[in-house]
């Protein structure tokens, strides 16, 4: 298999694009694609300050790498969740995020949940009624709150996450199976900011997870290979496996599923965004917008 650009031996073949590339041209292609999507979906400009949520995994570290190579003003945020029971998942993730920042001379904010809020994610989970015993729901709630809090307090214009196409397709698949209209309405490359809520963007939303792994490996980015111990057997991983089976038989199926959803949403298949905006109220404790009057979910959990 030959690189389409130079004819040398290809190391990555993307069947959905009918495109094979060598290492050198692949490492140029991924940042160029990312730049194209940032501009296409009007995510942010080079004049804006971007906060990248960095987990220590391949996607977020690669995103940070790409943004700084493209010349964007991108700082990092690592949230230490305290998931260190069986294997040192959080400690190792933090070490890798810190190492990447130090090696590239980048600014990394670190928020330790236990120090800041008095409990780790597994401890919060014991106090919460969310998520049927698994801490993933609590974890998502805490991360969203902290990301928004840091973005607002430090004056970032936009919050960028490393969600790739497989992440987006799996979420879309789950929400389609249950026809969760409100979630479908909110899914997309950009979630516009509202007073108190930072704009959220997903610059990798059209790049396959396999391609992001190839980028991290070829670029030599050291990332945490182990999965979060709580994600083992999760529904989202199951959906990713199902979609990969589909992709194997029909190359491009995942991309088409996601892109046709975006087209359908744009053409008005779902309700207009304004209808849910009108329902948001500021939380009387932290000020972040919440869908019901009174304390937001995060502050309700903290008050228990």
Partner 1 sequence: MVKLVLRDQEFEVRPGMTMLDALKKNDILLESVLCTRDGELIAEDEILKDGDVIKLIAVISGG
- Contact positions vs partner 1 (CB under 8 A): 1, 9-13, 20, 23, 55, 57-59, 89, 166, 209-210, 213-214, 217-218, 225, 227-228, 230-232, 234, 236-237, 240-241, 244-245, 247-248
CB contact set of 190 (below 8 Å; sequence gap of 6+) = 41, 42, 43, 199, 200, 201, 202
Nearer to partner 1, 114 or 234 (CB): 234
Burial code (b: 16+ CB inside 10 Å, e: under 16) for 243-273 equals bbeebeeeeebbbebbeebbeebeeeebeee
Nearer to partner 1, 164 or 290 (CB): 164
Give the Cβ contact number of residue 161 at 10 Å. Answer: 22
Shortest Å, Cβ 7 to partner 1: 14
Shortest Å, Cβ 237 to partner 1: 5
Angstrom distances, CA of residue 191 to CA of 43, 116, 273: 9, 27, 10
Q: Please enumerate, as own/partner, the contacts of 242-250 that have beta carbons within 8 Å and a separation of 24 or more.
A: 242/173, 243/166, 243/169, 243/170, 243/173, 244/166, 247/16
Paired tokens of 288? 């972040």
Nearer to partner 1, 228 or 296 (CB): 228
Nearer to partner 1, 179 or 225 (CB): 225
Shortest Å, Cβ 92 to partner 1: 12
Shortest Å, Cβ 166 to partner 1: 7
Q: What is the distance between the alpha carbons of residues 37 and 256, in angstroms, rounded to a whole number?
A: 16
Q: What is the distance between the alpha carbons of residues 295 and 289, in angstroms, rounded to a whole number?
A: 10
Shortest Å, Cβ 106 to partner 1: 22
Nearer to partner 1, 255 or 283 (CB): 255
Nearer to partner 1, 59 or 75 (CB): 59
Contact 113, 119 (CB under 8 A): yes
Shortest Å, Cβ 94 to partner 1: 13
E strand or H helix at 76: strand 73-80
Nearer to partner 1, 199 or 219 (CB): 219
Shortest Å, Cβ 227 to partner 1: 5
Contact 148, 296 (CB under 8 A): no
């Amino acid at each position: 298999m030959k690189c389409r650009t130079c004819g040398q031996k290809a190391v990555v073949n993307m069947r959905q694009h009918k495109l094979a590339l060598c290492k050198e041209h692949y490492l140029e292609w991924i940042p160029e694609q990312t730049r194209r999507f940032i501009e296409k979906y009007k995510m942010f400009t080079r004049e804006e300050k971007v906060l990248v949520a960095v987990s220590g995994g391949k996607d977020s570290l690669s995103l940070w790498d790409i943004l700084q190579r493209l010349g964007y003003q991108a700082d990092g945020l690592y949230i230490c969740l305290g998931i260190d029971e069986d294997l040192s998942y959080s400690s190792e993730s933090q070490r890798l995020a810190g190492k990447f920042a130090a090696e590239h001379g980048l600014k990394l904010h670190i928020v330790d949940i236990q120090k800041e809020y008095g409990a780790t994610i597994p401890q919060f989970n014991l106090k919460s009624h969310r998520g049927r015993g698994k801490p993933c729901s609590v974890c998502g709630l805490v991360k969203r709150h902290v990301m928004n809090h840091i973005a607002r307090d430090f004056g970032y214009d936009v919050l960028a996450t490393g969600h790739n196409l497989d992440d987006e397709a799996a979420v879309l698949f789950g929400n389609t199976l249950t026809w969760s209209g409100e979630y479908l309405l909110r899914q997309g490359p950009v979630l516009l900011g509202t007073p108190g809520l930072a704009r959220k963007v997903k610059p990798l939303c059209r790049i396959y997870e396999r391609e992001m792994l190839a980028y991290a490996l070829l670029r030599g980015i050291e990332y945490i290979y182990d999965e979060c111990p709580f994600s083992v057997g999760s529904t989202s991983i199951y959906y990713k496996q199902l979609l990969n089976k589909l992709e194997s038989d029909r190359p491009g199926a995942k991309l088409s599923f996601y892109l046709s959803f975006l087209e359908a949403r744009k053409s008005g298949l779902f309700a207009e965004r304004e209808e849910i905006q009108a329902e948001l109220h500021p939380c009387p404790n932290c000020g972040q917008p919440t869908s019901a009057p009174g304390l937001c979910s995060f502050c309700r959990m903290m008050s228990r």
